[in-house]
Amino acid sequence: MKQKRWLIPAIVGVIILAAAGAAFLLSRPTGDMVMASVEIGATQKTELGLAADSSFTITTGWRVSQDELRAMLDIEPDIGDYTIGGSGRTWTLVPGVPLMDNTVYTIRVINPATKAVVQSFAFQTKSDLAVSGVYPRDGASYVPLEAGIEFTFNAPGVNLKDFFEIKPETAGSFETNDYTVIFRPAEPLSPDSIYRVTVKAGLTAPGGMSLKEDLHFSFETTGEEADRWDYMRLRLAGDYAETFLPGDPLSVALYAGDDMTGLPFDVSLHRYADISGFIKEQRDRDAFYAERYGEKTDYVANTTGLEESFCRRTNTAASFTRRFRTTSRRAATSRRSRARTGRATSSLSRSSSRSAT
């Protein structure tokens, strides 16, 4: 009878031990479970980014050793000989060197057995003040005359007033809304015009971030003459500077919005003294388009002092490519001025090609 009394508790004990053993086996992580449970955060983080002395907190869903945790981490860029303190499921990683400003640090959690990346964490350190977007965009055309000029910064509350320049000079006011600043002109912008905007270096955000370099951009406004001007003007059909090998036929194509068949053009070919003159001319053209504002104008090459090696009046059918055809009479008044622009551009393009060879 005594033996039977102990039999039932013994059976119950065996069942409990078996259940506990099964629960332990079932709770053991497999595959990527440990790596997928990792969470990483920064200790010195603000809306402007991580501080240079920030460290990182690491938690895991299962207990791991320091060596096991190190084997899971891949950090880029290098943070020196970092230390890891803690135990079990909670750890603190301290970089061996101060974190660099304007840098994104990536901590990848990998499976040591397969070397596969299970998850990754990215942290941005404090950065310089930057303009992340503008409206109108640089090079925009047909901008409405009532448009405001909008800037988006990577920091809130920027006071742009003393670091803003617009050419032609335009009166207006500023509105600041969190990360966005809008310049609203007091009067509508001038039609058919080029505006050049500068945000000057030294602009500082409330948090201390500063703009290191000037930002420039330009845009063109719309107007009744905008479409007509762009449609009618004579321009190069190819690149501004072309290279021809010795013996190649020299051909420069231009196009405009009206039928130019039969119109005479004076075509001249000039030679640069050396390659440096050719390069300077290209730089002058780039500077012209980078800095122009006000009335829309095209660049005209300066051939003063260059050797003229060819000059001839020719028919457009032989020398120019016609891209568009129209019966409109609106081009008649501007043919002469456009033809003059065509002569100058043709002269530059041809002389550039000769020099390049």
What's the pLDDT tens digit per position in 239-298? 777 777 888 887 778 777 777 777 787 888 888 888 888 889 889 988 988 888 898 888
8 A C-beta contact, residue 326 and residue 232: no
CA 8 to chain centre: 77
- C-alpha 314/C-alpha 285 separation (Å) is 26
Looking at residue 193, its amino acid is S
Taking 60 as the threshold, does the pLDDT of residue 316 lie above it? Answer: no
Most confident of 62-66, 287-291, 342-346: 62-66
- C-alpha 98/C-alpha 199 separation (Å) is 31
CA torsion 225-227-231-233 (nearest 10°) is 40
Residue 93's pLDDT is 97
| Mean of all residue pLDDT scores within the chain | 80
Band (pLDDT 50/70/90 cuts) for residue 194 is very high
Taking 70 as the threshold, does the pLDDT of residue 324 lie above it? Answer: no
Global pTM value: 0.59
Q: Helices H, strands E: what count in the chain?
A: 7, 22
| Residue with the two structure tokens 């409109």 | 328
Band (pLDDT 50/70/90 cuts) for residue 225 is low
**More confidently predicted of 183 and 234:** 183
Taking 60 as the threshold, does the pLDDT of residue 87 lie above it? Answer: yes
Report CA torsion sign: 232, 169, 176, 100.
positive
For residues 142-148, average pLDDT: 94
Strand-pair category, 254-255 with 215-221: unpaired
CA 122 to chain centre: 20
Percentage, residues of the chain above pLDDT 90: 46
* For residue 246, cis peptide bond before it (omega within 30 degrees of 0): no
Q: Residue 349 is encoded by which pair of tokens? A: 């393009």
What are residue 232's phi and psi, to 5 degrees?
A: -85, -25
Q: Residue 340 is encoded by which pair of tokens? A: 């003059």
- C-alpha 278/C-alpha 282 separation (Å) is 7
For residues 151-174, average pLDDT: 95
Pick the range with the lowest mean pLDDT from 68-77, 125-134, 256-265, 314-323: 314-323
| Residue with the two structure tokens 């479970």 | 33
